[in-house]
Amino acid sequence: MTHTFLLEEGTWHGKGFLINGANERFPFEGAISTIHVSGEWIHRTDMKLLLHDNTIEIANRCMIVPFEEGDDQTTWQSQNAHMGRLLGEFVIIGDSILSICVSADSAFQGAEYFLKINDTTYTNRGMMSKRRYKVSSWVIEMKRVL
């Protein structure tokens, strides 16, 4: 199976909801983009979360080591204002891309997967925890726009 998310440059519109540690559900949506440059891929997420009448912007920039020809696994890292440096892996498993991560101080752990529906549609499910307590989980439907 050929994946169009991450492995190809593109921009996606994501829409879904976030569930916080108190099991409250909040809508959010935004843009997800991947750019391939020499020696690295830049994956950016810019989401807006509607939280109790306040809109909170969530931005993340992830630097991905490109998948080598024939490999189904690679690494990534990002810097987060609340969690510090995150170190992660992407693994391709058939119709899905699995991502796991841990903060440099090991306080935060996360996992998510991207399920390919077709070349222009993926679903995303994930979670983040701090010292084994859920911080958030999410459900996103992604449609390719570019």
Is the pLDDT at 146 greater than 90? The verdict is: yes
72 token code pair: 């189904």
The mean pLDDT value for 42-60 works out to 94
- What pLDDT does residue 52 have? 86
Is the pLDDT at 122 greater than 90? The verdict is: yes
Round to whole Å and give the CA distance between 138 and 47: 12
- 28-31 contacts: CB < 8 A, separation 24 or more? 28/58, 28/138, 30/58
12 token code pair: 């996606």
- What pLDDT does residue 92 have? 98
Statement: 10-144 belongs to CATH 2.40.128.20 = yes
- What pLDDT does residue 35 have? 98
The mean pLDDT value for 84-92 works out to 98
